[in-house]
Structure 1
Amino acid sequence: MTVQVKSPIAVVSVFMWVGFVCTISFMEAWLKFQAPGITLPLGLGIGRLVFDALNKVEWIFAIAIVIQLVSYKAPLLSTKTIAFLLPLLLLFIQTIWLLPALDARAEMYIQDTTPPASNLHFYYAGAEVIKVICLLIYGITLFKKTDHGKSN
């Protein structure tokens, strides 16, 4: 039995995307505040830069996957691709709504103003968990087992 990959750019992009999200969202986001001398405003300023960069990198991976899907004429509404389309939708929502809203809240803290209570961080973290799970499922589906020794 061998394993074939029809969409190598998509495979690399999916697993790199997962790695970036796990590293930034699940580790760097809270770990930076443990460093000596990091104040809340300084940590938030760093976080704004890092998450803006992460968002741009995520779009690069997403576009690479879309290009690969289109070039291989993959059906866009199959069960397999829904596992990719959901993270794409969540990335869009994060880009147009969640990140700007979180950025505005961070700016308030940086300016020494306390914003009202919000669940935005929970929404963002939940979206990250869903993206990672879906991307892992999608990435696994990009591998195809073949059995060259048997006739079909």
Structure 2
Amino acid sequence: MTAISALRLIVPSVWIGLILGLSFIEAPLKFMAPGITVPLGLGIGRLMFWALAIGGFVLLLVLTASAVLRPRVPVGGWALIGCLWVLMLVQSFAIRPALSARSDIVIAGGDPGPSVLHYVYIATDVAILITLVLWIVITVRSSRTAPMQHR
């Protein structure tokens, strides 16, 4: 296995760990901690999700760069990279700003009313996770079928 092939497995694995740890474990648990109010939890969550987005974009840039290098990525790999870019852009520039606006209302003492935005954000996180797992599968399969001299 080449360093590039290893990078193509390590980067999505780290990203999966970040999403699982922060989005699905830390985010709901912080509201159970003693002394954490809803406004305080929302403020912490906003910072954490922006940090996760920055980390995700850095990892996506590294993954995209690794796809350009040899050994070449199969066509399906490029489709997955494209999906990741679309999901990250939608999450970062459409969903998260709308959630931030809602949290501003709550922090100011208001009630923004019901919304499905959290579920849409969770759905995009799940889609990113599925896409990363598919990327890992394609990477492993292509490295197993690649001729030895091209590895």
Higher helix share: 2
* Partner of residue 107 from structure 1, selected from 83, 104, 109: 104
SS at match of 2:144: strand
* Partner of residue 94 from structure 1, selected from 88, 91, 95: 91
Contact 2:73 2:139 in 1 (8 A): no
Q: 2:120 aligned with 1:123, yes or no?
A: yes
Shift of 1:81: 2.8
Contact 1:81 1:138 in 2 (8 A): no
Shift of 1:75: 5.8
Contact 1:80 1:138 in 2 (8 A): yes
Task: Structure 1: give runs of 5+ residues left out of the alignment.
Answer: none
* Partner of residue 15 from structure 1, selected from 1, 13, 16: 13
Shift of 1:15: 0.8
Task: Structure 2: give runs of 5+ residues left out of the alignment.
Answer: none
* Counterpart residue number, 1:145: 144
Runs of 4+ in 1 over 4 A off after TM superposition: none
- Name the Cα RMSD after superposition: 2.1
Q: Which amino acid aligns with 1:55?
A: A
- What CA distance in whole angstroms lies between the structure 1 residues aligned with 2:6 and 2:31? 37
Contact 1:83 1:134 in 2 (8 A): yes
Count of paired positions: 144
- What CA distance in whole angstroms lies between the structure 2 residues aligned with 1:39 and 1:67? 42
Higher strand share: 1
SS at match of 2:53: helix
* Counterpart residue number, 1:30: 28
* Partner of residue 59 from structure 1, selected from 47, 54, 57: 57
Deviations 1:39-97 (A, max 9, x none): 10010010011001000000000000111112337468x22332332122111101111
